[in-house]
Amino acid sequence: MRFRQPSALPGFGLTFGYTLLYLSLIVLVPLAALVAKTTSLTWEQFLATVTAPRELASYRLTFGVSLLAAAINAVFGFVVAWTLVRYRFPGRRLVDALVDLPFALPTAVSGIALTAIYARNGWIGSHLAPLGIKTAYTPLGVLIALTFIGLPFVVRTLQPALMDLTSELEEAAASLGASRWQSFRRVILPALAPSVLTGFGLAFARALGEYGSVIFISGNLPMKTEISSLRIVAKLEEFDYAGATAIAVVLLAGSFAVLLSVNGMQWWLRRRTGTA
């Protein structure tokens, strides 16, 4: 068995060596430091750190609100992607380009902008306040920021899938007597489900680690609106490196679990639709 298949092209040694060196220096060694630091705590110390009441409250907020934000984005992202791909209306290309704004706008800018809008004297906050709805400095504010930040994921994973969905499938369904709604539910939706799920998973994972856009609008009240990323920063400011690392491990494990279970569900969906 050989390491590399023969090729007429030159430059493998140089580019492979450089890629490996640069990858190790920038990514692998730093991440190894994270793993090594985790092992510096005993299991009891680790558990005590990550299950402190303030951390538990931060996980509940971070995981709960991220899940909700990803769900909102799955629903509205579907509508947005469907509209952008299927319908023609003035300004469609502009709207399409604007969808990536949450990726392009620095998170600190999104953070202060959302806070200004939803504060009690803000454009939207001032209309919600008389109704007794407080958004800024509450979990609802966190939800708004995380929905903003995850908005492009579902739209962008769904758009290519929608474009690939040929009209032949729908025509076949219609010719067999299916109504529009039936063909949507039985033909279109199952074909798009894996893409929606991917977008949902990416939005969820992104929301779990989000920091800049949240910390302004959340107000960071202990036990109430502190997200886990903020707890890491707080630990670092106290020079508690081991504590910060322990919370980071919980957060990383959470986002890997999300991505892995999305992959698993996709495999199951494909298999089911493949054999059906």
Partner 1 sequence: MPGSGHPLRDPPWLVALLVGITLVFLGLFLVVPLAAVFTEAFSAGLGAWFAAFDNAEARSAVLLTLLVAAIAVPLNIVFGLAASWCIARFRFTGRHLLLTLIDLPFAVSPVISGLVFVLLFGLQGWFGRSLAAHDVHILFAVPGIVLATVFITFPFVARELIPLMEEQGSDEEEAALSLGASGWQTFRRVTLPNVKWALLYGVILCNARAMGEFGAVSVVSGHVRGRTNTMPLHVEILYNEYEFQAAFAVASLLALLALATLGLKAAVEWKSRQARRAASEEPAGEPGADRMARGEAA
Least separation in angstroms between CB 213 and partner 1: 9
Least separation in angstroms between CB 71 and partner 1: 14
CA dihedral of 206, 212, 213, 214, whole degrees rounded to 10: 90
Instruction: Among 42, 43, 87, 130, indicate the residue that binds partner 1 (CB under 8 A).
Output: 87
Q: Is 22 in the site for partner 1 (CB under 8 A)?
A: yes
Each residue 205-244 as x (binds partner 1 by CB under 8 A) or -, in order, gives x--xxxxx---x------------x--xx--x--x-x--x
Least separation in angstroms between CB 248 and partner 1: 5
Instruction: Among 193, 252, 265, 269, indicate the residue that binds partner 1 (CB under 8 A).
Output: 252
Site for partner 1 in 179-208 (CB under 8 A): 179-180, 183, 205, 208
CA separation for the pair 261, 276 (Å, rounded): 22
- The CB-based long-range contact list for 77-84 (8 Å cut-off, 24+ gap) reads 77/151, 77/153, 77/154, 77/155, 77/158, 77/196, 77/199, 77/203, 78/154, 78/158, 78/192, 78/196, 80/155, 81/154, 81/155, 81/158, 81/159, 81/162, 82/158, 82/162, 84/155, 84/159
Under 8 Å between Cβ of 74 and 66: no
Residue 124 burial class via C-beta count within 10 angstroms: exposed 0-12, middle 13-18, buried 19 and up? middle
Site for partner 1 in 39-78 (CB under 8 A): 76
Site for partner 1 in 117-176 (CB under 8 A): 117, 122-124, 147-148, 151, 162-164, 166-167, 170-171, 173-174
The two three-digit tokens of residue 93, written as one number: 């290309």
Instruction: Among 89, 130, 132, 238, indicate the residue that binds partner 1 (CB under 8 A).
Output: 89
CA separation for the pair 122, 192 (Å, rounded): 38
Least separation in angstroms between CB 47 and partner 1: 20
Site stretch for partner 1 (CB under 8 A), options 9-17, 51-59, 134-142, 190-198: 9-17
Instruction: Among 97, 221, 223, 257, indicate the residue that binds partner 1 (CB under 8 A).
Output: 97
